[in-house]
């Protein structure tokens, strides 16, 4: 069965990755195409190389930007923990955990969806960029009930512009805990660890399991102790990386990535159960380190199918999604036919009007029951129909009034619950 998977690049990102991550997404999707005035391979290479220039801590032997040296080797010492490593933010020497975690999530997502298009050894460099971030996030979440979310005082750092190797500003370590919650940064950290676990699933299974297990613990902490880290840490993070849009989207975002990484139904159920209280329907006209709603929709919108080929969406009344999506497929196929166009889905793939019509027809055929079971899922269609209906309006044959002489005494016609019922 033909399936369509179109991916849209994100548009806004935090400081040091604003243009670079966008280039990363674009170049991974276009690098196989003939260049028309732009070298997409070079854009990809330099996008990833930038992260090596932002590294903090003890640099590895394969560091490609040779003029960068070790820095901030005592981060976390004042708090009795090891917080060396990670990435500096923009031109600062502060390590802001919120945008760093988001950047790690996005790097992982780019590898998951577009890694096969990263040629010339850049896939390996991208994977190493993810690991540099996750190694730090593992240190920041090493103690139960605590997440270290920032190293460095942003006010003093911004007043003293100097190389990381030479900095002499305060390296205060800021943390969240049960009494000082930060569901936003913790939820994003869980998302980053979960997404990265997919990247390393086949490359380093033991490391992948470590990432996923830690992501689960961090998400549980984020959900149990709800609150915005901006309220807990105030001037340490504001106005630099205040969570203006609230922590709700990060909880949904974290659950979405945990569902993708673990395939556990509980995380999808969490999203469905909390979609109202966590404002899943909020505006999706932006996407960045502070607002994940658009990303949540894209991440969860990849079409799933039942074993028989029916489009499946979580929640009750699945047929409403199937029929409405089938209608949209048919309507859009007509628009495309009139315009003599097809939908470009990245790479060499596209969706023609004929393909959209075939997809819609298969769904309609499934609904009418002519596929697989040779019986009708649409109650009352054809000859080989189901015996019972779960639709309330069809219960007349089950609950029939007796003769008018005794209208107050209905006669209940029993039936076996083991009989087949329609698939809704």
CA distance 257 to 298: 12
State how far the alpha carbon of 277 is from the alpha carbons of 93, 273, 291, in Å: 37, 9, 16
- The total number of residues shown for the chain amounts to 424
Query: Mapping DSSP to helix (H, G, I), strand (E, B) and coil, where does residue 351 land?
Result: strand
Of 169, 152, 15, 156, the closest CA to residue 79 belongs to 152
Q: Are 238 and 230 in contact (CB under 8 A)?
A: yes
What confidence score (pLDDT) does residue 19 get? 36
CA distance 2 to 372: 18
Q: Are 64 and 381 in contact (CB under 8 A)?
A: no
What confidence score (pLDDT) does residue 34 get? 43
What confidence score (pLDDT) does residue 92 get? 84
What confidence score (pLDDT) does residue 294 get? 60
Interior/surface letters 40-63, b for 16+ CB within 10 angstroms, e for the rest: bbebbbebbebbbebbbbebeeee
What confidence score (pLDDT) does residue 350 get? 79
CA distance 22 to 8: 11
Query: Mapping DSSP to helix (H, G, I), strand (E, B) and coil, where does residue 277 land?
Result: coil
What confidence score (pLDDT) does residue 201 get? 97
Neighbours of 277 (CB within 10 A): 9
Instruction: State the 10-residue block means of pLDDT for the chain, 424 residues long.
Output: 36 38 46 52 80 94 92 95 94 90 89 81 92 98 96 87 88 95 94 97 98 98 92 82 79 92 91 71 54 62 70 62 68 78 75 84 71 46 50 39 43 40 36
What confidence score (pLDDT) does residue 303 get? 62
Handedness of CA 358, 363, 366, 372 (dihedral sign): positive
The pTM score is 0.67
What confidence score (pLDDT) does residue 181 get? 95
What's phi and psi for 227, nearest 5 deg?
A: 160, 165
**Degrees to nearest 5, angle at CA 323 with 317 and 324:** 95
**Degrees to nearest 5, angle at CA 356 with 353 and 362:** 140
Domains by residue range for the chain, with CATH:
15-302 (1.50.10.10), 311-412 (no CATH)
CA distance 199 to 9: 19
Q: Are 127 and 203 in contact (CB under 8 A)?
A: yes
What confidence score (pLDDT) does residue 376 get? 45
Helix boundaries (H) for 115-264 = 122-140, 154-158, 183-199, 205-224, 229-233, 248-262
Helices (H) and strands (E) in the chain, counts: 13, 9
């Amino acid at each position: 069965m033909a399936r369509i998977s179109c991916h849209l690049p994100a548009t806004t990102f935090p400081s040091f990755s604003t243009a670079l991550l966008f280039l990363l997404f674009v170049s991974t999707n276009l690098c196989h195409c003939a260049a028309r005035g732009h070298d997409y391979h070079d854009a990809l290479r330099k996008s990833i190389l930038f992260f090596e220039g932002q590294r903090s801590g003890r640099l590895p032997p394969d560091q490609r930007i040779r003029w960068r040296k070790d820095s901030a080797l005592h981060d976390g010492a004042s708090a009795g923990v090891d917080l060396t490593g990670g990435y500096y933010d923009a031109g600062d020497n502060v390590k802001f955990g919120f945008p760093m975690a988001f950047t790690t999530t996005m790097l992982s997502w780019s590898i998951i969806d577009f890694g096969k298009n990263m040629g010339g050894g850049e896939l390996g460099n991208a994977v190493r960029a993810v690991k540099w971030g996750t190694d730090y996030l593992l240190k920041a979440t090493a103690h139960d009930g605590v997440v270290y979310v920032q190293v460095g005082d942003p006010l003093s750092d911004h007043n003293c512009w100097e190389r990381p190797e030479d900095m002499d500003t305060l390296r205060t370590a800021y943390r969240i805990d049960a009494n000082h919650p930060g569901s936003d940064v913790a939820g994003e950290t869980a998302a980053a660890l979960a997404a990265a676990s997919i990247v390393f699933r086949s490359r380093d299974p033991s490391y992948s399991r470590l990432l996923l297990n830690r992501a689960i613990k961090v998400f549980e902490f984020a959900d149990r102790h709800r609150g915005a880290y901006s309220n807990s840490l105030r001037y340490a993070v504001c106005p630099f990386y205040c969570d203006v849009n609230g922590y709700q989207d990060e909880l949904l975002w974290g659950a979405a990535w945990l569902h993708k990484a673990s395939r556990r139904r509980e995380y999808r159920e969490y999203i469905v159960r909390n979609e109202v209280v966590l404002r899943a329907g909020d505006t999706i006209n932006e996407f960045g380190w502070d607002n994940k709603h658009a990303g949540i929709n894209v991440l969860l919108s990849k079409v799933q199918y039942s074993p028989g080929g029916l489009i499946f969406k979580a929640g009750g009344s699945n047929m409403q999604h199937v029929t409405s999506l089938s209608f949209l497929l048919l309507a859009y196929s007509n628009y495309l036919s009139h315009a003599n166009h097809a939908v470009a889905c990245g790479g060499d793939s596209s969706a023609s009007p004929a393909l959209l019509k075939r997809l819609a027809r298969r769904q309609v055929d499934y609904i009418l029951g002519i596929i697989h079971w040779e019986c009708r899922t649409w109650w009352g269609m054809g000859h080989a129909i189901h015996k019972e209906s779960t639709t309330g309006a069809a219960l007349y044959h089950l609950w029939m009034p007796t003769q008018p002489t005794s209208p107050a005494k209905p006669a209940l016609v029993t039936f076996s619950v083991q009989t087949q019922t329609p698939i809704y």
